[in-house]
Structure 1
Amino acid sequence: MFINDRHLSNRPIQWQAHQNSNSEVPENTMAAMKYAWELGGIPEIDIRQTADGIIIGHHDATPKRTLSVPEADQDKQISELTFDQIQQWDAGVKFGEQFRMEKVPSLEQVLTVLSEHPDRQLYLDFKDVDLEVLSGLIRDYGVARQIIFAHNSHENCKSIKRLVPEVRTMLWIPVRSSETAMQTFTDIRQTGFESLDIVQLHLPDGEEKRPWRYKLEKGFIQEALQYLAEAGMELEVLPFKFEQEDLFELLNMGIRRFAVDEPSIFVERLKRYVE
């Protein structure tokens, strides 16, 4: 094994059900939230605000891709539509008949369930909302310590931390190239990881699948893990694809927080690792 820090290896393994590419349930629905919680994971909800100020779970700027929308409304912005309008459309049937009649949930609906289960957690992936309104909802439902706010803007993470200090924040770093991702990490490290609790690195496949599958260099991931552990923080990785040996290698490095697109497959392979 490659783990060189006993503190890292003893941390519990946690995982996020990544929503907009989740291949097992329709994204950003109550079905998706419950599915992740029941599997032992942490669901993510992408948050946008409607024309009448309701924060909802929806990834895209328009309803076209995921909702059963009349042609005349397909290219309208979510911010131009009311919550009642959006509630008229089916958020599950495009995914599969068994999910027919699933609706786009309001964040309040999700937070109501979260508040009833203090052992559960929830990622909020910022898309387009008023942070003052969002922070008010989080405080109203008393769930700040159960929330992980996620965005690729360090400034937005700082803002929500000022508004609700108990909320955990996660900065996600895309990997368009190893160089840009490494520079972004270096830049936030120089701030002392201000207002952050978790850093997420995306792991797209590199050109060669072996001996190391991912575009981001293995040595850099190990360094990032160590820097964050020393700062009392966590590293999360999002491997877009993985086989059992890839997952085991990441776990052996000491990584204990993941985002995954195939929750049931991840859980099944994780069981093999801990057996």
Structure 2
Amino acid sequence: MSLQNNKISGQKIHWQAHQSTNTEMPENTTSAMHYAWELGGIPEIDIRQTADGIIIGMHDATPKRTTTAPIADQDTPISELTFAQVQNWDAGIKFSESFRGEKIPSLEQVLDVLSDYPEREVYLDYKQVDLASLAGVIQKYGVERQVIFCHRDQDNCRTMKRLAPEIRTMLWIPDTEIDTRFGEVAEAGFDSLDMIQFHLVDAEEKPEWRYRLQLQFLQNALEQLREAGLELEVLIFHFDQASLFGLLDVGIRRFAVDEPKVFAAELERYYNK
């Protein structure tokens, strides 16, 4: 296999700290947000809504895995708990003692900070929220152009585009669905989308091309999206220098990564090689 060097001089690389950098920081915390921004990336917040309508950063449906919620609340859905309740728990200590005292942030707290830095952006990964309420919060802080809304259901992207036209939307497609879903979305003219994300999973064997998705398919999709005015992002669950440099050479300019610090260091090496 030959990877054509397609390095585009001066084109910025954008990268998402997937699941709020949960391998390097306590996920969905304000510390994780600042960590990604300071590294030059874009943090992702998984969004859910409490019983009293407050949108918060939380990946799981319940607080058991990431917080110090008492046993009585550990398996209770976030949608049945109030914001005051979730604020009683520590969201950092399970990751590391050094993050003792971290609280689950409300989306408003995050967007309030974002509004002071127009050069920063944030991904909002839909888990369980009322979309009209979400649009209202985003517009309240005047950060529509700084928000990338993402979900696997294109209908939710359409709804958000209608409610908040200036936000960008990203449809993410799991590895096992790329072959069929991408064709379906393309046939519909990429309606209401600004980006598409492919999940790249390692092949069972490790040939020269690391990922299960074929290189030619990736190149074709990248070209098709460019022609349509969209961007392609790849979520690379695992990477090394060779595989990352290969993706950059192909022309990928948006990434989602679980190891932001490692990724940033390799990116620096790429441009200094």
Shorter chain as denominator, the TM-score bin is: over 0.9
Indicate the SS of the match to 2:169. Answer: strand
> Aligned residue for 1:162?
162
1:95 aligns with 2:92: no
Tell me, which stretches of 5 or more residues in structure 2 are unaligned? none
1:19 aligns with 2:23: no
> Aligned residue for 1:203?
200
1:189 aligns with 2:189: no
1:124-135 equivalences under 5 Å are 124-135=124-135
1:250 to 242, 247, 251: 247
* Equivalent-residue separation in structure 2 for 1:22 and 1:221 (angstroms): 27
Give the AA of the match of 2:191.
E
> Aligned residue for 1:53?
53
CA contact (8 A) 1:52 1:83 kept: yes
1:94-133 equivalences under 5 Å are 94-133=94-133
* Equivalent-residue separation in structure 1 for 2:115 and 2:226 (angstroms): 30
> Structure 1 length normalisation: TM-score?
0.96
Indicate the SS of the match to 2:60. Answer: coil
Change (3 A) 1:40 1:199: same
Give the AA of the match of 1:242.
F
* Cα distance per residue 1:36-82 (max 9 Å; x no partner): 00000000000000000000000000000000111111100000000
1:230 to 207, 211, 227: 227
Indicate the SS of the match to 2:68. Answer: coil
1:215 to 212, 217, 220: 212
* Equivalent-residue separation in structure 1 for 2:104 and 2:221 (angstroms): 37
* Equivalent-residue separation in structure 2 for 1:197 and 1:208 (angstroms): 33
CA contact (8 A) 1:20 1:59 kept: no
Following TM superposition, the consecutive aligned residue runs of length 4 or more in structure 1 with deviations greater than 6 angstroms are none
* Equivalent-residue separation in structure 1 for 2:144 and 2:254 (angstroms): 20
> Structure 2 length normalisation: TM-score?
0.96
CA contact (8 A) 1:26 1:99 kept: yes
**How far 1:232 moved relative to its partner?**
1.0
> Aligned residue for 1:2?
4
Indicate the SS of the match to 2:235. Answer: strand
